[in-house]
Structure formats: C-alpha cells, structure tokens
Amino acid sequence: MKLKPMDDRVIVTRLDDSTEKSAGGIIIPDTAKEKPQMGKVVAVGSDAPEGRTPLQELVKAGDTVVFAKYGATEVKADGETYLILSRSDILAVVE
C-alpha cells in the first residue's frame, strides 16, 4: 500500500524525541510558541509551479525535514501513522 501525495503535498512519518536526537542531534525546544517537528519523508507531490524549483528537487523520500505542525493532516495505514503536509509547512531539510 502506498500513498501518492497530490500537487504540493509531502507525506512524512513523525520522528519521536529519541529519534530526533539521533537524527543529526537536533532538539526542538518545548518553549517555542509554534513548536516545529521532525519527520522522515515518505513521498513527495509533483508540484512544479512556474518560476520556482520543482518540489521533488528540494525534498526526496528518506530525507529528514523540520516542519511546522500547523497544517499537518494525520492518516494511519498498515499500522504506521503518516502526516500529509503542504510544501510551505516544510521549513528545512536536515543534511
């Protein structure tokens, strides 16, 4: 079973705190007003608007990303929880 994101959507699995620390040593402080979160990218939409970099050149399956949790929609499949984000929810890619 696979989910193919529409347009500018990106599907990620949330990385829990212990994972977060190992994934490049990043800690999201609890004090942040709109607390961002860490996720691992599962699939990326085909969004490629004129005058901007195609989404799939910026984020790839397997990437670890920092995202704003605001726009996230949660779905469960095969026992795994997925978050469906929009391109603008993704703040940075961890390299």
Chain residues in the site for its own copies (CB under 8 A): 1-7, 9, 11, 24-29, 31-32, 34, 36, 43, 46-53, 58-59, 66, 68, 73-78, 81, 84, 87-88, 90-95
Nearer to its own copies, 1 or 18 (CB): 1
Per-residue CA distances from 42 to 11, 22, 65 (Å): 5, 19, 11
> What SS3 state is found at 60?
coil
Closest approach, Cβ 20 to its own copies, in A, equals 10
Closest approach, Cβ 59 to its own copies, in A, equals 8
- Residue showing tokens 């079973």: 1
- Residue showing tokens 């607390």: 35
